[in-house]
Amino acid sequence: MEEDFYATLKLKTGEEIFAKVMPVEENSKLLLLVTNPIVVTELKSRTGIQGYKVEPWLKTSDDDLLIINLDDVLTMSESQNIEMIMLHQQFTRKMSNIKSSKPNISRKMGYISSVNEAKELLEKLFKNN
């Protein structure tokens, strides 16, 4: 199979994403492994394009690698655009730094109460003021 490459994918849902793509064949079905898919939006002003807004494609997922069935892709265009590739690499580095700097939450970090206990405590604090 081919090496991975950067590409813009237009999905049948209308979404347009940019990602590092690697085609994989599994059970005679072609799948695309996409790494850190992003959505790029142009920020415009009255004078023209001011810049770009880069966001993760899936906002509620922490997964770096996602699988897209080729049947769900309307079109795909390999990208040689250095600006887009640099935006993607910068986003990937930023996201990996954020993930590595998050502390692991544990009960030792503080008291965890029930909703009723917290409600009683807050009511006492409110009444005392």
The CA distance from 75 to 98, in Å, is 32
- pLDDT, one tens digit per residue, over 60-70 is 888 889 999 99
- For 124, the domain range is 5-128
Q: What pLDDT sits at residue 3?
A: 86
Nearest of 69, 66, 78 to residue 4 by alpha carbon: 78
CATH of the domain at 118: 2.30.30.100
- pLDDT, one tens digit per residue, over 82-122 is 989 998 999 898 888 777 666 666 666 666 677 888 888 88
Question: How many domains in the chain?
Answer: 1
Say if strands 65-69 and 5-11 run parallel, antiparallel, or are unpaired.
Answer: unpaired
- In the block, tokens 């910068």 appear at 90
HEC letters along 47-104: CEEEEEEEEECCCCCCCCEEEEEHHHEEEEEECCCHHHHHHHHHHHHHHHHHHHHCCC
